[in-house]
Amino acid sequence: MRLVRYGRPGKEKPGLIDDFGKLRDLSGVIDDIGPEQLSAKALRKLAKLDPETLPAVRGNPRFGVPLAKVGKFIGIGLNYSDHAAESGMPVPKEPIVFMKATSCLNGPDDPIMLPQGSKKTDWEVELGVVIGTRAQYVSEEDALKYVAGYCVVNDVSERAFQLERGPQWDKGKGCDTFGPVGPWLVTQDDIYDVQQLDLYLDLNGKRMQTGSTATMIFTVAQLVSYLSKFMTLEPGDIIATGTPPGVGQGRKPQRFLKKGDQLRLGIAGLGEQQADVIAWQAR
């Protein structure tokens, strides 16, 4: 299933995308798409619905983050060896973990704002993993059983805030709008092999990032198992699993986002984001 939340910010309704790409309204079946709707049992119930019995949504409404009530937004750094190389950093022996503030969550096509004082805002297309079942000390063999589905994440990062203003990365990761997620939450049953997904990102029509989850240093199963040893993973938590090479920081000369830029990024089977870059404004 491809689950979505659509409508004005703060007023989103639940929906799904049918096999013909048509948006169907789920608000007559569930109140929202959040932690309560992400269990295996709840998803099986939704999967039994006949999409043609659901109201079709007219027009082209805005898509919001495809799940509500996100508890934790966890990032993994340097999880592709070629990205580590372009960043001038060694391949990590264990996953590098940081947190993105949930206040940075953004609709997939909503504008990305440059924070005040920013000079090095960068892009990162990433596979997002959405937890569906509470996970504590789970094995790698069982780890994917705790995953509800997958989505596209842009781990937008202000590199000066991240790397030049102290040892913690979080300051450069959680600025407003720095967490576009979606357009869809694609459930496990629709993804044959999560370690064989192609990723891409274009800046102003020029290809910047091309990669595959096949080249991740730590697989999705390894990451879920690893994180569950340090924190309880709850339904609705999102894990951004790292980015392939081609970020602005790694280019020669370096290229960072500026007002008026346009980003287009996606992952095979998980949909596409398109966002304009604008100056910061209160929201």
Q: For the whole model, what pTM was predicted? A: 0.97
Give the pairing of strands 105-106 and 179-180: parallel
* Residue 13 falls inside a structural domain: no
* Residue 27 falls inside a structural domain: no
* Residue 263 falls inside a structural domain: yes
Q: What is the rounded distance in angstroms from the CA atom of residue 283 to the CA atom of residue 280?
A: 9
Instruction: Residue 227: give the domain boundaries.
Output: 65-279
pLDDT confidence of residue 86: 79
Tell me what the mean pLDDT of segment 135-164 comes to.
97
> How does the average pLDDT of the chain come out, rounded?
96
Tell me what the mean pLDDT of segment 23-29 comes to.
97
* Residue 82 falls inside a structural domain: yes
169 Cβ partners below 8 Å, 6+ apart? Answer: 75, 77, 98, 162, 163
What's the pLDDT tens digit per position in 157-216? 999 999 998 888 899 999 999 999 999 999 999 999 999 999 999 999 999 999 999 999
Q: What is the rounded distance in angstroms from the CA atom of residue 42 to the CA atom of residue 92?
A: 37
Tell me what the mean pLDDT of segment 242-249 comes to.
95
* Residue 44 falls inside a structural domain: no
Residue 97 pairs with which residues in a beta bridge? Answer: 76
Closest CA to 161 of 139, 142, 147, 178: 178
Using pLDDT thresholds of 50, 70 and 90, give the confidence band for residue 275. very high
Total of domains in the chain: 1
pLDDT confidence of residue 143: 98
* Residue 195 falls inside a structural domain: yes
What's the pLDDT tens digit per position in 107-141? 999 999 999 999 999 999 999 999 999 999 999 99
Residue 242 pairs with which residues in a beta bridge? Answer: none
Q: What is the domain-level CATH number for residue 94? A: 3.90.850.10
Tell me what the mean pLDDT of segment 205-231 comes to.
97
* Residue 53 falls inside a structural domain: no
